[in-house]
Amino acid sequence: MSESAVARFGLALTTLLFGAISVIWHDSDLWKHAHQIGGPLAAVLAWACAALLCVGGLILLVGRNALGSVVLGIGGTLLTLSCIADIAPGPFSFPNYIDFFELAAIVCGAAAVYAPYDANAARATMLRRASLVGFGICNISYAAAQVVFFKYTASLIPSWIPGASFWTALTTLAFALAAVAMLIDRLAALALRLLATMVALFALLVWVPQLLAAPTLPNWSEFMLTWVIAAAAWTLAAARPAPAA
């Protein structure tokens, strides 16, 4: 199995499980953003997003990559746009944007999966580039979030790992450097693979202990979303075309 196929499998599985969590627990982030809209549309949007994530993930798992990426991209786009209901009341408050950029990773990953199947070569290249730039912008947000919430991020690191502030600063710098690599498209594939490894380690070393201590919905949601971001990074790295000879 090729690296791109394994990466697609990871994206499919993580988004499927993230959607499943939203189906099981109706107070998840997905429902929280939808409820901000209010009215009967809120429940419709929440169920639609959860269904599209689950169905898109399942279609990818059975190998229908073009169709699966489209379904997943639509679900991810709707879910990301639902965050606007949180952003609108305070458009100059950075914390209101954090969920938007975390969820946008789904859209970037789906776009990277679909690009090779677009019959129009120019459009496929543009889509690959857009997914890379989009994910680069997401990583600027991740770095900024760790700066703004530096103490909170450091507090998540288990006590048996020394130098919590050092690791927080290092991962913040790593997010920023990865973003630059993606935005200028230099060593982007390497940056994405290193980023995927770092985020996966964060899920294992930070969120697994959090889940063992308190298996609450917020922790489960963060755990799965962390894996989604790692899978998206790996998918983007594996989907990039080889450099021209």
Describe the crossing of helices 121-148 and 217-239 by its angle, rounded to 10 degrees: 140
Q: Which two tokens stand for residue 213?
A: 């201590």
Q: Which two tokens stand for residue 18?
A: 């993230």
Residue 35's pLDDT is 65
Q: Which residue, 119, 127, 120, 139, is CA-closest to 232?
A: 139
Describe the crossing of helices 121-148 and 188-202 by its angle, rounded to 10 degrees: 50
Residue 19 has a CB neighbour count (10 Å cut-off) of: 28
In whole angstroms, what is the distance from residue 194 CA to residue 14 CA? Answer: 19
Question: What residues of the chain score a pLDDT lower than 50?
Answer: 242-245
